[in-house]
Amino acid sequence: MYKKGLSKLSPRERRSDRSDYWTKIRMGTRRYREVRLCSDKELSARWEKQIQAAADRQRAGESPDRDVLAGIPSRCLASIGLIDPLNKSRHRPWDSQVLDYCDELVLKGRSKTYIANVDRCLRDVRNACGWKTLANLERDSFIQFLQERRAEGRSPRTLNNIRSTLVSFLNWAVRSRRLERHEFNTVERIDERSDRRRIRRALRYDETVTLLSIAGKRELCYRLALCSGLRRSELKQLEWRDVNIENDHRHRPHLQLRAEATKSRRADIVPLPINVAQRLRNARPETYSLADRVLATVPTFETWRNDLKRAGLNYRDEQNRVLGFHSLRVTVSTNLRKTGRPQTEIDAIMRHRRSDVGSQSYTDISQFDLHAAVESLPRYELDKELGSVDHRIRHQQCGATSPGLSNCDEFDRSAEDRSPPSKSIEGLDMTRLVALSRMPGTGVEPALRLTGTRPST
C-alpha cells in the first residue's frame, strides 16, 4: 500500500496526513489495476487482501464471495470489475431517470408540448409494465403492453410513437452510462399503411378559392402555406429576417428558414412565387424589426374549423378523410405532382428527406384524373379499310372465290416456303402495316410478304 503526493510534504505533514491509501491489485500476468482504499491503514490492508483474493477467484473462473466483500465500498469493487459500475445508476427510481432525460431535452431545445408527451408516455409504460427501475426492464412485458393497446383500438402509428419514445430514452440511458445495453430496438415496428386512422386530403381548386375568399385577415397565412408548404408551427415562428422579397435581380424571392424554427432543425431555403412575394411586401409595415413576426394571426384549431364551416367544407368527408390545417401542406405536394415536376424538385420544396414520405402521406390521389390517364392508353383497334385490303390480297393469292378462309389459311402456312414477290401494293401505308404485323392476330403479315417487307425483330 502507498499514498500519493507524500514527496511534496514535510516529515511532520506526512505523519499527520489523512489521505487515502492506494494499492495495486494483480489482474493477470504483468497486469495490475490501481485501487483507492481508505485513510485507515489497518482497514485498508484488510480490504487489500480481500480484494486480491476476490480478483484471483474471478480470474480462476469462480464467483467472488459476496459476504466477504460486503463491507468494501462499491467504488473499490467496480474499479476492478468485481461488480457492475452501472449497478447504482440502474437501481435509481424510474421517475428520477425520466426527469433527468426531460431536463436534457430542454437543453436540446425541444418544445414544452413534446417534453410533456414524452414524460406522460414513459410513465404510462412504467405503470403498465410494472417497471420501477432500469434493472426491471423486460422486453416481453413491453411486447404484451403493445398487444394490449392494439386490442384496445390504438392505431399502429400511436404504438410506433410509443416504441420510438422508449427506445430514444433507453439509448440516452446507455450514452449517459446509466445502462449497459438494451434490446428494445429489436422490437419490430407495426405497418402503418394497413390501418391509417388520420388520412388528410387535399383541397380542390374551387375549395381553395372559397376558403381564401372568407379568410379575411388570415388570407396571407393561408396563401403562404399553400405555396411554401410550411407547417403551422413554422408559420407561427416566421420572422421578417427569414423573408427575402426585395426587388433584387440577383436573388429570387425565397424564405431562409432558421434551423431552430423548423421541425427537422435544418436551415432550408423555400422559394416563393412572385405574387405571394408581392403580397408580403404590401403587408410588411413601414417600420419593422427583423425579429418581428411576419404573420400576426395564425389560426388555432377552432378558428380553422370555423373557417371551414363558413366556406361550406366538412372537416371529415364521406371517406372519413380529414381536412385539417396540415392539409394545406398536402395540397402543395399534390399540386406539384399534378404539374409533372421531377421528384427531386418536389422533395426539395416539401423538405422531405425520403421520397416515399411525399408519395404516401402527402399526395391525394383523388385529385388526379385517372380516367384521362386510362384513356391515353393505346386502343389497339384495327382499321376496317386496311382489313378489307388485306382480305382481298389474301384471296387473290390463294385463288379463293368465296370469302371462306380455308384456302387462305393454307396459303399462310405455305407462304414461308415461297420466295416473297418484290412488287409493292399501291395505296397501302407500309409504316402502319409493319406496326400492325408485330401484333398477333392482325392478319397483316401476308400483305407484307407480298410487298417483300419484313418487320424488324
Q: For position 381, what pLDDT does the model report?
A: 67
State the CATH class of domain 94-194.
mainly alpha
Question: Does pLDDT of 225 surpass 60?
Answer: yes
Residues 117-140 have pLDDT tens digits of: 999 999 999 999 999 988 889 999
pTM summary value = 0.55
pLDDT digits (tens, 9 = 90+) for 67-83: 777 778 877 877 777 76
Q: Output 234 or 354, whichever has higher pLDDT.
A: 234
State which fold the 205-371 domain adopts: hpI Integrase; Chain A (1.10.443)
DSSP string spanning 80-122? TTSS-TTHHHHTSBHHHHHHHHHHHHHHTT--HHHHHHHHHHH
Helix, strand, or coil (residue 195): coil
* Distance between CA atoms of residues 372 and 51, nearest Å: 83
Amino acid at 107: L
Distance CA 51, CA 64 (A): 9
Q: Please tell me the distance from the alpha carbon of residue 44 to that of residue 389, in angstroms, as a whole number.
A: 114
Residue 351: how many other CB atoms lie within 10 Å: 19
The share of the chain scoring above pLDDT 90, in percent, equals 30
Which phi and psi angles does 315 have, rounded to 5°? -65, -35
Residue of higher predicted confidence among 390 and 286: 286
Alpha-carbon distance 104 to 110, whole Å?
9
Under DSSP, the state recorded for 190 is P
Q: How far apart are CA 386 and CA 329, in angstroms?
A: 53
Domain ranges of the chain: 6-83, 94-194, 205-371, 384-451
pLDDT (average), residues 173-190? 86
> Residues 152-176: pLDDT tens digits?
988 888 999 999 999 999 999 988 8
279-322, pLDDT tens digit by residue? 999 999 989 899 999 998 899 999 999 999 999 999 988 888 88
Residue 417 class from Cβ within 10 Å (0-12 exposed, 13-18 middle, 19+ buried)? exposed
pLDDT of 457 higher than 70: no
CA 174 to the chain's CA centroid:
24
